[in-house]
Amino acid sequence: MTDPTLPLLAFAFAVFVAAGLVKGVTGMGLPTIAMGLLATTMPPHESAALLLVPSLVTNVWQLAAGPSPRAAAKRFWPMMAGVTGGAVATAGVLAGDAAHYATIGLGAVLMVYALFGLSGRRLTAPPSSERTLALPVGLATGLITGATGVFAMPAVLYLQALGLEKEELIQALGLSFTVSTLALAAGLGFAGALDPHTLGGSALALVPAGLGMAAGQALRRRISPTVFKVAFFAGLLGLGAYLVVTSMG
């Protein structure tokens, strides 16, 4: 991104509008959409770096808007510790010689996430299991985050399985995505994959992401959540398949 062309800038603008739109409607999905689409035109580590600032700002806002950020942090800190360690450990994959495989892994994660979403299944995990599951789930999420730039798996499925109230779930997701973003940034920094130009572009991406979020919040009151989620997961499935096929070709 040191010398971006006008078509690439226009594409990135459109990507962050779309990602913000999904975030506004569902409360999540900005990194997933942005990472998946950007990876079709640029190296994975640049895609991951561009989403850092929009992801951090929108998720800090989501965390702060919940009922009790301190209580959420106290409850889920073992999971967040796992996320941090895992993401820092594998972030070098995005910037190293294995970046080609990172794109394949990204496509595979998107496909698994989409297929599970389309299945309509919901996992269940009693609160008594948190002490056992929190750290392994966080570590797995961090490893996938660092290697692919996608924060969703398996953290989203785990938090949904706990049966949290709506606002508690949204806040917990905001906490998980915030920590994942910071850990990914640290990992990319340690790997030498961050530069001022890319971070400047990431800051500018706040504008289209914010526009998309505003539109998504307005759309949320007018569209069927079920219809939107089906379209969202179907699109992720197609995007994931495209990344896998083109990267293996």
Average pLDDT, the chain: 86
Q: What is the dihedral of CA 147, 88, 64, 14, to 10 degrees?
A: -40
| DSSP run (H or E) holding 187 | helix 166-190
User: Residue 140: its pLDDT value, please?
Assistant: 94
Contacts with 222 (C-beta within 8 Å, 6 or more apart), sequence order: none
Q: Is residue 195 in some structural domain?
A: yes
Average pLDDT over residues 60-87: 90
Question: Alpha-carbon distance 58 to 117, whole Å?
Answer: 23
Q: What is the pTM of this model?
A: 0.85
Average pLDDT over residues 98-111: 82
Q: Is residue 127 in some structural domain?
A: yes
User: Residue 32: its pLDDT value, please?
Assistant: 84
Model confidence band, residue 99 (pLDDT cutoffs 50, 70, 90): low
Q: Is residue 193 in some structural domain?
A: yes
Q: What's the total number of domains in the chain?
A: 1
Question: Can you give the residue range of the structural domain that contains 109?
Answer: 6-248
Query: Cis peptide leading into 7, omega within 30 of 0?
Result: no
Residue 11 clears pLDDT 90, i.e. is over it: yes
Q: Is residue 1 in some structural domain?
A: no
Four-residue CA torsion sign, 145, 90, 206, 235: negative
pLDDT one-digit tens code per residue, 31-53 = 888 988 898 888 888 888 999 99
User: Residue 181: its pLDDT value, please?
Assistant: 93
Q: Is residue 33 in some structural domain?
A: yes
pLDDT one-digit tens code per residue, 219-233 = 877 877 778 778 888
